[in-house]
């Protein structure tokens, strides 16, 4: 289960419009509920690394601002250790062209994004952003569009 939302900022119950100012400190995030018998946290991280650029500070593609930073919000010390080890392994192997700048922080209050952000791709496949940004990511994972 995946829920779009915001985390890591100082403003309670932020709106998308507030997030877009870059002044709230929140990142645009997804909260993922997964079954560890099907995929473990390390497996989730492997998808995370494939689906975005963890080497650009406060930027993803043409989207720039602190709300677009690469971040992992962990639920336990074990997840923190796994995330940090994964970063170290990727950096040492030279998987990316630059060092990983992903923030690794303890889980904070998760604020669910507005309804129109939920299942965004499924509901907006024809939108150019979906065609040029999301579809190629789904192709990378071999997922049905």
Total domains in the fold of the chain: 2
Residue 145 has a pLDDT of 61
Domain that holds residue 29: 2-113
86 lies in the same domain as 135: no
What are the backbone angles phi and psi of residue 44, rounded to the nearest 5°?
-60, -40
Nearest partner of 71 among 116, 33, 113, 101, judged by Cα = 101
Q: What is the pTM of this model?
A: 0.91
Residue 141 has a pLDDT of 83
Structure tokens at 48: 């995370």
Q: For residues 46 and 114, give the distance between their C-alpha atoms in angstroms, rounded to a whole number.
A: 27
37 lies in the same domain as 99: yes
Q: In a structure prediction context, what are the per-residue pLDDT tens digits for the chain, which is 145 residues long? A: 999 999 999 999 999 999 999 999 999 999 999 999 999 999 999 999 999 999 999 999 889 999 999 999 999 999 999 999 999 999 999 999 999 999 999 999 999 999 999 999 999 999 999 999 999 888 888 876 6
Residue 142 has a pLDDT of 81
17 lies in the same domain as 68: yes
Q: Max Cα separation, the chain?
A: 41
23 lies in the same domain as 62: yes
* CATH value at residue 88: 3.30.1060.10
Q: For residues 56 and 111, give the distance between their C-alpha atoms in angstroms, rounded to a whole number.
A: 24
Residue 61 has a pLDDT of 87
8 lies in the same domain as 79: yes
Give DSSP secondary structure letters for 8-62: S-SSSS--HHHHHTT-S--EEEEEE---TTT--HHHHHHHHHHHS-TTSTTEETT
Residue 143 has a pLDDT of 75
21 lies in the same domain as 81: yes
Structure tokens at 134: 């999301």
Element (H, E) at 106: strand 103-106
How many other CB atoms are found less than 10 A from the CB of residue 90?
19
66 lies in the same domain as 32: yes
92 lies in the same domain as 108: yes
């Amino acid at each position: 289960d995946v829920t779009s939302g915001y985390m890591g900022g100082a403003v309670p119950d932020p709106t998308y419009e507030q997030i877009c100012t870059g002044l709230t400190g929140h990142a645009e995030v997804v909260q993922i509920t997964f079954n560890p018998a099907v995929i473990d946290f390390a497996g989730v991280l492997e998808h995370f690394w494939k689906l975005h650029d963890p080497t650009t500070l406060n930027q993803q593609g043409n989207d720039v601002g602190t709300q677009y930073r690469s971040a992992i919000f962990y639920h336990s010390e074990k997840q923190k250790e796994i995330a940090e080890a994964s970063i170290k392994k990727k950096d040492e192997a030279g998987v990316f062209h630059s060092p990983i700048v992903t923030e690794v922080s303890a889980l904070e209050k998760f604020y669910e994004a507005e309804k129109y952000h939920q299942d965004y791709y499924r509901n907006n496949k024809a939108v150019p952003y979906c065609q040029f940004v999301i579809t190629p990511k789904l192709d990378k994972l071999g997922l049905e569009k």
